[in-house]
Structure 1
Amino acid sequence: MKKYIYSLAIAMSALTLNSCIGDLDTMPLNETDKTAEQVYVTLGDFEKGLAYIYGSFSLVSQSDPGSADINVGDAGASELVRQYMVLNEMSVGSLKCVWGDAYVADLQNNSWTTAPNDALIAVYTRCMMIVTRANEFLLQSDKKIDMEGIKELRAEARFLRSLGYYILLDLFGNPPFALPENIGGVLPTQIGREGLFNWIESELKAIISGEGGEALPNKGSVAYPRADKGAAQAVLARMYLNAEVYTGTARWADAKAAAEAVIAMGYKLCPNYEELFMQDNTENLNARNEFIFAIAYDRDKTQSYGGTTALINASLGEDANNGIAAALGYPAGTKISRDQWNGYHVPNEYVANFDLVGVDWEAKSGFGYNREKSDRRAFFYNIGGVEAYDKANVNSGWRCWKFNSRASDGTLYSTDNYTIFSSADFPMFRLAEMYLIYAEAQARLDGGTTTDSKAMGYIKELRDRAGVTTPSSINLDFILKERACELMWEGHRRTDLIRYGYFTAMSYPWPYKGGIPDGKVALPSYRTVYPLLQSDLSENPNLVQNTGYQSNN
C-alpha cells in the first residue's frame, strides 16, 4: 500500500507549486503546466493531491533522488526527515559527524547563524511546502465540499499541515503563519509561538472530534501509512509534554491524558526492538503494530539519499560494515549496510546512557562489548576506534547500526547487485514514546519521582523488552536516560534537553557543545530555537527574526 500511496505523489507532477515561503502563489510559471483548478477535479485527483502532501516528508523532487527541488547543494541533504533528525540530534550529544560540510560544523558546534545552512533550509522550506500544499488542497477541496469522501481527505490534509507547523513550532518558534487565503494573496504574518501552539491544538482536536464533519479515521480503518486519530492524538501528547517551553505554561496532566488516549487505541509494543528499524519494518506486523505514524520509504518507489537511507549508510565505514556483519554470523565479506559513507558517530558520553556489559576499547573482534548481556536497544560498534570523540578523527567514538540493511528473517539487502536505497520506514510516533510521555508527566505531577503503578508498568514493559531491570521508583533523570536509550536517533534529544533545562546549562556538557571539545560551556538561551531563513525575511516584510539572531550574519 505504501508503494501505491507514494506513486500517486509522483502523479501530481502536473501541479506546479513553485514557491512556498515568500510567495504563496501556486500558479505555474510555464503556460504548459496545469493550474490547481485544472488538476483538482475528481475525488481521485484529490487523493493524488493528498499523496503529494505526504510525499513532501520523504521526496526531494519529482524527477530523481539526485536532483533537489529546493536550493540546497546536495539533494540528499535537502530531504526533510534526514535533516529533521540531524537538527534534533547533531546539535546535542547523540550524533556527531566527521564530514566537512558547513552545516555539520554549524550544528555540532552550536555555532549556526542566519547564514545559509543546508539543514535549516531543508527543514524550514519543506515544512512550509507541506503547509502550502495543504492550503492549496484545502482551498480547492472547499469548492467540492459536497463531493462524497472529500471531508475525510480534508481532515488528513489538515493533520499533515498541523504536523508541518508542529515541526516549525518546535525548531523555529515563530514561523510565518499561512492559511488558504494566503494562496496568491496577502503575505503571511506571525502569530507568536503560543498562538501557533493554540492553533495547532485546536486543529488537532477538531479533526479528532469531527467538528464540522471533517474527522480523521479511527485507528486501523485506513491503509498504512495514512494518518488516523492516533497520529493526531500523539502530536497533542508530544506538544503538551513540551507546552511549558512553547507557551510558558506546563500541561503535564494534558500530556498524560493525551498519551493515555493513544495507548487505549490498541497499539502494541513490538516484541523485538530491533525489528522496528529493519528493512521490512512495516511489512512485519509485529513492528507496525507499534507505529502510530511513520514516514514511508520504498527502495523502488520513494528513493532518496535522505531518510533511513542516510541513517543506514552514513553511520559506517568499510571495516565497521564488515565487522558488524561478521559479529552477527554472516559470511566473510558480507556488509550490514549497503553503502558506507563513514560520517556519523556517537560520543562515548551518550553511549553511557545504555547498560553495556564488558566494554573493551582494545577488542579486536565482536562489537566492543558483550552484546548478549547488554541493553538490547544498544546497536554499537567500537572495534578499531578510540574512546574520545574527535571531529577530526574518522575512527573516534562509537558507530551505530540501529538502522541497517537487513530484514527480520535475516536477509541482508546489501549485496553489490542490489539497490543502495532503504525500504525501512521512519517512525515519527510510536507507542513506546507514549509510554514515556505518560511516565514523565506522572513523575512531574508527583514532584519529580513516581511509583505510580501504571507509569511503572509502562516503563517495565520497555525495560523488559530491552532485557534490563526496572527500579522500584522512577525520577525525571531516569526517564531522560530511558528516552535516550529507547528513542535514539528518532529526532527527540534536542527537544528533551531543552524541556529539562539542560540544553543551555554548563552543568550538562557533551562533546563540542558550543565548539568546546569537552563541552563545558553554557549556551545562550536564544539557541533553543533556530533562526528563520534570512531569505524568507527579505522576501516578506511582515516577518521578524527570532530574538538573538537579528544581528547575526
Structure 2
Amino acid sequence: MKKILYFMLAVGLTMTSCENDLDIINPNNPTENDFWQTATDAEQGVNAIYSTLHRGPIVLWQWFYYTVRSDEAFSRSPRVDIPNNMDKFLITNYNFGETNWIYGDNYIGIFRANQVLANVPDIEMDPDLKARLLGEAKFFRGFFYYNLASLYGNVPIILEPSTTTMQPANATREAVYAQAAQDLTDAAEVLPLSYSGANVGRVTKGAAMAMLAKAYMQMRNYQAAYEPLHWLVEGPGSEIYGLLENYRENFLSTTENNKESVFEWQFATNESEFTDNDVQTPNQNYGSPLAQFIAPANIGFSDAEIRRWVVNEFHEEETVTGERDPRLSASFFFDSTDVRGPEFSMIYGQTFAQRYGPNDTRVWVRKFANDAEPGRTREGFRSANNYRFVRYSDVLLMYAEVLNALGRTQEAYQYVDRVRERVGLAPLAVVKPGLSQEAFLEQIMHERVTELAGEGHRWNDLDRWGYFESQEKLNELIERDPAFSTFMLDRHRLLPLPQRDVDINPNLVQNPNY
C-alpha cells in the first residue's frame, strides 16, 4: 500500500453573493457529475479516505489527546497552549486550533467516505471490487466516528455527503458509538482477510473486527465485544495473526505490515513532494510528523514526555532468566534505555549522558522513532515509519479483559500469558494464580501499560475503566499525574465542540459545562 498514490478528491464549491448568484465551473477541475464513472474513480475515491490519516490533526494531535491528556504522558512544550489544553485541562478557548482540527479532519474523512457510499453503488464495475471498496469506506466512517465519540461524545451523525446548508443536531455519545459499531459490522462482512502486492496495508476483515470490539468495549457491551474478539483469537483470525518473536520489530520501518499488525496506518516518503532545491511542490505529503513532535530534546520538538511511573511499571517483574523486561528499552528513550545506564544508552548516535547529562530523568516515546536508521541524528516532519494502531497483542489483552468481564476469568489467563511469554515473563497462572475478577482487571491494567504504553489507547482505557466518573478513581490519577488535579468530573471527560460550529448551527448544543 505504500506505493498507492493517494488521490485527493476535488470538491467544487458554489460561491454566492448577497446580490447576484455566481456559479462558474472551473473546466480544469473534476466535478461530482463527471467523476464517479469508472472503477478507477471508485478506487481513487476510497484512496482519498485513506489519505485522511496523513493529515496532521489525525496522526499527530489526535495522538496527543489520546496519550498526553491521559496519565501516562505530559507536555512541557514552550507553546503553553499545548500543555494547557492537551495536558492540564485548562481549557479556555473552545476554538483552540488543534482541537478543532481533529474534529474537522474526522469529519473530512466521514465526508469522503459518504461520497464513496453515495456514488460508487451506481458505477458499473466488478461487483466483488465494488463490495470491497464500499467495505473500506464503511470501515473508515466507523473509525472516524469511533474517534469522535471517544473525544467529543455528542456529535452529529452524518450519513450522506454533507452540504453547506446542513445544520445537523447532536447525537448522543452512545448513538455515535453505535453508528461506529454498525459501520464496522458492515465492513467486516465484506472486507477480505488479507491483500497482496501493492494493496498490502488496506483495511481487512481483521481490522474491522478489532475496531468493532473496541467500539463495543467503550460502550461496555462486553458480550457484543466477545464475538469479534473470539473470531480474531479462536476463529479464522488466529490463522492470520500472531505475535512477533521480537517485540521491537513492531516499531521498525523495516518490519512493517507483519503478522502482529491488525490495523496499520501506511506512511511513506514522497520523493516528488520537494524539488531538488527543497522547494515544496503541490504533491501530497505521505509521511507522519508524529516522530518530529515527540522526539527527545535536540532531536525533535520534545512536546510530549512519558511520566516516570510508567517506567516503574516495567520494573515490577523480571523475566524468567532474571533480566529486565525487554519492552522497556523498545518503548522509551531515557537514562537507562540501555540497562547499564546513561553512559551506555544511545540516543541518535550519542549517549544519553552526552546529550542530557547523567542525572536527567526525562522519558520520551521511542515507538514511532527512526533512530534505527543508520546515521540518523534528528527526526523530521515526514516519517515513513508506519503507525501500528492495533496490534495483535492488544487484541489478546482485550479478549482477556472481555472474558474476565463476562465472569470467565480462568479462561482469560492464557491470553495474557501469550503476551507475557513473548517477552520472557513467567505465566500469570504461575505468579498470580486464582485472581478474583476485580484483581484480574487490575492486572490487565498493568499489562496494557507495559505492552501498549504510548500507542494511543490509554485515554479510552481509563474512560472504559471508570476513572472519569468518581472522585475516588480520579484521586488515583492525581497521584500518578498532577495535571488531573484540575480535571472536573462533570466536564473534562469530553472535549468541547468547536464553538464556531455551535455558533453557526442552531441545532448544535455545546457539551455539558463548557
Instruction: Tell me the TM-score range normalised by the shorter chain.
Output: 0.7 to 0.9
Q: Are residue 84 (structure 1) and residue 32 (structure 2) matched?
A: no
Structure 2 residue identity aligned to 1:12: M
Deviations 1:415-461 (A, max 9, x none): 68x976322111121211110111111222228xx222xx2222112
Matched residue, 2:18? none
Q: Are residue 53 (structure 1) and residue 49 (structure 2) matched?
A: yes
Q: CA RMSD in A?
A: 3.2
- Give, in whole Å, the separation in 1 of the partners of 2:478 and 2:207: 33
Matched residue, 1:373? 323
Matched residue, 2:118? 139
Mapped contact 1:28–1:35 kept (Cα < 8 A) = no
Mapped contact 1:108–1:513 kept (Cα < 8 A) = no
Deviations 1:254-275 (A, max 9, x none): 2233212122312111111111
- Give, in whole Å, the separation in 2 of the partners of 1:57 and 1:301: 19
- Give, in whole Å, the separation in 1 of the partners of 2:304 and 2:363: 9
Q: CA deviation at 1:194?
A: 2.0
Structure 1 residue identity aligned to 2:495: Y
Q: Which runs of 5+ in 2 are unaligned?
A: 15-22, 274-283, 336-341, 346-358
Measured at CA, do residues 513 and 469 of structure 1 come closer, stay the same or move farther in structure 2, by a change above 3 Å? same
- Give, in whole Å, the separation in 2 of the partners of 1:161 and 1:41: 22
Q: CA deviation at 1:293?
A: 1.1
> Which piece of structure 1 moves more, 180-189 or 223-232?
180-189
Q: Given the two structures, how large is their TM-score scaled by the length of structure 2?
A: 0.79
How many pairs does the alignment contain? 453
Q: Secondary structure at the match of 2:131?
A: helix
Measured at CA, do residues 306 and 3 of structure 1 come closer, stay the same or move farther in structure 2, by a change above 3 Å? closer
What percentage of residue pairs aligned between the two structures are identical? Answer: 24
For 1:214-229, what aligned pairs fall within 5 Å after superposition?
A: 215-220=190-195, 223-229=199-205
Deviations 1:307-329 (A, max 9, x none): 754236622124xxxxxxxxxxx
Q: Are residue 344 (structure 1) and residue 320 (structure 2) matched?
A: no
Matched residue, 2:169? 189
Q: CA deviation at 1:207?
A: 3.0
Matched residue, 1:412? 374
Matched residue, 1:291? 261
Deviations 1:477-528 (A, max 9, x none): 110111111111111111111222224634213479574xxx5576323211
Measured at CA, do residues 119 and 31 of structure 1 come closer, stay the same or move farther in structure 2, by a change above 3 Å? same
Match for 2:395 among 414, 423, 434?
Answer: 434
Deviations 1:372-401 (A, max 9, x none): 92111113312499xxxxxxxx95532332
Measured at CA, do residues 85 and 205 of structure 1 come closer, stay the same or move farther in structure 2, by a change above 3 Å? same
- Give, in whole Å, the separation in 2 of the partners of 1:306 and 1:525: 39
Measured at CA, do residues 17 and 311 of structure 1 come closer, stay the same or move farther in structure 2, by a change above 3 Å? farther
Matched residue, 1:536? 501
Measured at CA, do residues 537 and 242 of structure 1 come closer, stay the same or move farther in structure 2, by a change above 3 Å? same
Measured at CA, do residues 28 and 465 of structure 1 come closer, stay the same or move farther in structure 2, by a change above 3 Å? farther
Matched residue, 1:69? none
Mapped contact 1:134–1:158 kept (Cα < 8 A) = yes
For 1:182-331, what aligned pairs fall within 5 Å after superposition?
A: 182-183=162-163, 186-209=166-189, 215-220=190-195, 223-244=199-220, 251-263=221-233, 264=235, 265=237, 266-282=240-256, 288-300=258-270, 309-311=289-291, 314-318=294-298
Structure 1 residue identity aligned to 2:60: R
Structure 2 residue identity aligned to 1:137: V
- Give, in whole Å, the separation in 1 of the partners of 2:396 and 2:480: 32
Mapped contact 1:316–1:340 kept (Cα < 8 A) = yes
For 1:383-422, what aligned pairs fall within 5 Å after superposition?
A: 383=342, 396-407=361-372, 411-412=373-374, 414=376, 421-422=382-383
Q: CA deviation at 1:99?
A: 0.8
- Give, in whole Å, the separation in 2 of the partners of 1:181 and 1:299: 31
Q: CA deviation at 1:349?
A: 1.8
Q: Secondary structure at the match of 2:46?
A: helix
Deviations 1:33-83 (A, max 9, x none): 322222222211211111111000113xxxxxxxxxxxxxxxxxx431211
- Give, in whole Å, the separation in 1 of the partners of 2:24 and 2:185: 35
Structure 1 residue identity aligned to 2:113: A
Match for 1:502 among 460, 467, 481?
Answer: 467
Q: Secondary structure at the match of 2:416?
A: helix
Q: CA deviation at 1:172?
A: 0.9
Q: Which runs of 5+ in 1 are unaligned?
A: 20-26, 60-77, 210-214, 245-250, 319-338, 359-370, 386-393
